[in-house]
Amino acid sequence: MDLLQEAREIKLRHQTRRHFLKAFGTGLGAIAFASLGATEALAAPDPLAARPPHFTPKAKRVIFLHMAGGPSPLELFDYKPDLARLDGQLCPDSLLEGKRFAFIRGVPKMLGPQATFGQYGQSGAWVSNHMPHLRRVVDRIAFLKAMKTDEFNHAPAQLLVHSGSPRLGRPSMGSWVTYGLGTENANLPAFVVLLSGGAAPDAGASVYGSGFLPTVYQGVQCRSNGDPVLFLSDPDHIPRNLRRRTIDAINDINRQNHEEVGDPEILTRIAQYEMAFRMQTAVPEAMDILREPEYVHAMYGTRPGETAFSNNCLLARRLVERGVRFVQLFHWGWDSHGAGRSEALNGGFLDRCRETDQPVAALLEDLDMRGLLDETLVIWGGEFGRTPMLENRSGSDNPFVGRDHHSDVFTMWMAGGGVRGGITHGETDAIGYAPVQGQVHVHDLQATILHLLGFDHLRLTYPFQGRDFRLTDVHGHVVNEVLA
């Protein structure tokens, strides 16, 4: 019988593609994979083990607050009194020639600022009446007022901000960071995603996906209401020791499989089984904001039991406090076209400001009080800006006002983690339409974030399809003016 089985095996090796490909994976295929620089990934017992960056970092972790939809800087931080004087006048042809807009057609009217402004802090930063709490912390913030993107529709622009490309398939920034640094806490995900605002980002899970990196580096979406992670709990009547034995048996098979074929995704599978088991105790504790004292809830304006941005800001602090490397918050609903109340500068936009102003200011103050801000980089912004002209697709009798997408200039800000607070970098023209100085492309922002984390963005690469890829693609320069 043994001789017969051996004969059949020899025959299969010669006749089936499966055996050929399996052998190829451990023969020439493995050699080719190693030649692409993947030997470290193949040998690593834990793909999330902590690793040093290229040089001493200013920041150890990141909280990225993405306002999905593109908040208007003209109602928040970019004060333009000249635009107020032009309110209601027809837009000059010079602003329209050769330009592409998402929705503006014909000749629109100019739209003055739908807010009042004042200067605050020792820096004298301009902040509108829509952000009364943020005024307290402006001296911790570096404003980037001449940001630029290459995209004027939501999904591609969001992908460009977070993955360096407007097309699907590239790893997100959080994935690059966890690939480069690993994790500080083996019991929690290295990259956590929190959503609020009633919808997911327009680009979907791709904005926190791992792309061509091993999937162990993708963001783990957690919830501030209900079970933090779906299906994290053991099934009824399954004791924890049985769960441990089951995972051990599965991973023994996975290790044998990895020894045979050398696929790094098998290491990912092993790591994810182990992480899920550890998360069962660590995640519920980390995500339980009811453990916080009452003064903290008052500080953030939390709404326990709901899916709220304020809850997510408090969770972000709890997570970085426990060593989570990258926390990504998405708050949806900033697309202020003015077609109806929910997306109007005099409607839904005001709601978004009220939902975010207090918890964002509280997050910076809380991190500072706990000695975490110096090593935590906080980033705020959307995927693009808004036009200084009124979007004109809803007719003259529409009581709501809004602005179209604008890719040439918008405002983002950074705080903590090696950033020089109390400064404004970049300037727009008298109506907030074009850059005057200090323009920062999205790729420059990415290069700067990686620099603060201790990486040369040119050297943080991964081999894929015959060449080395990086977050900044073939672009990007560090914005040295904002570095402390």
**282 domain-assigned:** no
Give ∠ CA 364-433-352 in degrees, rounded to 5: 40
Q: What is the pLDDT of residues 425-464, one digit of tens each?
A: 999 999 999 999 999 999 999 999 999 999 999 999 999 9
Q: Does pLDDT of 201 surpass 80?
A: yes
**Main-chain dihedrals φ then ψ at residue 110, nearest 5 degrees:** -70, 150
Strands 61-68 and 326-332: parallel
The alpha carbon of 60 is separated from its chain's Cα centroid by a whole number of angstroms, namely 16
Other beta carbons less than 10 A from residue 304's beta carbon:
15
Strands 191-196 and 326-332: parallel
User: Across 215-316, where does the E strand assignment appear?
Assistant: 220-222
Residues 210, 203: Cα–Cα separation, whole Å: 14
Q: What is the pLDDT of residues 132-177, one digit of tens each?
A: 999 999 999 999 999 999 999 999 999 999 999 999 999 999 999 9
**441 domain-assigned:** yes
Task: Check if the beta carbon of residue 405 is closer than 8 Å to that of residue 112.
Answer: no
Predicted structure pTM score = 0.85
pLDDT of residue 278: 66
**CATH number (domain holding residue 93):** 3.40.720.10
Q: Does pLDDT of 354 surpass 50?
A: yes
Name the range with the highest mean pLDDT among 10-14, 106-110, 425-429: 425-429
- Across the chain, what does the average pLDDT equal? 88
Averaged pLDDT, 292-306? 95
Averaged pLDDT, 351-376? 98
- DSSP, res 338: -
**271 domain-assigned:** no
**26 domain-assigned:** no
Instruction: Please state the domain count of the chain.
Output: 1
Residues 258, 262: Cα–Cα separation, whole Å: 5
How is residue 454 written in tokens? Answer: 């201790």
**345 domain-assigned:** yes
9 — pLDDT class (breaks 50, 70, 90): low
User: With b meaning 16 or more CB within 10 Å and e meaning fewer, what string describes 262-280?
Assistant: bbbebbbbbbbebbbbebb
Other beta carbons less than 10 A from residue 135's beta carbon:
17
User: Across 307-366, where does the E strand assignment appear?
Assistant: 326-332
Task: Check if the beta carbon of residue 438 is closer than 8 Å to that of residue 427.
Answer: yes
Per-state percent for the chain, helix, strand, coil, to nearest 5: 40, 15, 45
Residues in the chain: 484
Residues 91, 131: Cα–Cα separation, whole Å: 29
Strands 385-390 and 403-406: antiparallel
Q: What is the pLDDT of residues 244-289, one digit of tens each?
A: 777 778 878 888 888 888 787 787 777 766 666 666 667 788 889 9
235 — pLDDT class (breaks 50, 70, 90): low
For the stretch 87-92, contacts whose Cβ atoms lie closer than 8 Å and that sit 24 or more positions apart, written own/partner, are 87/111, 87/112, 88/112, 91/389
pLDDT of residue 246: 74
**1 domain-assigned:** no
Give the residue carrying structure tokens 């602005």: 403
93 — pLDDT class (breaks 50, 70, 90): very high
Averaged pLDDT, 187-203? 95
**265 domain-assigned:** no
Q: Does pLDDT of 35 surpass 50?
A: no
Q: Beta partners for 440? A: 147
**122 domain-assigned:** yes
Residues 147, 157: Cα–Cα separation, whole Å: 13
pLDDT of residue 33: 35
Task: Domain of residue 150: give its range.
Answer: 54-228+287-482
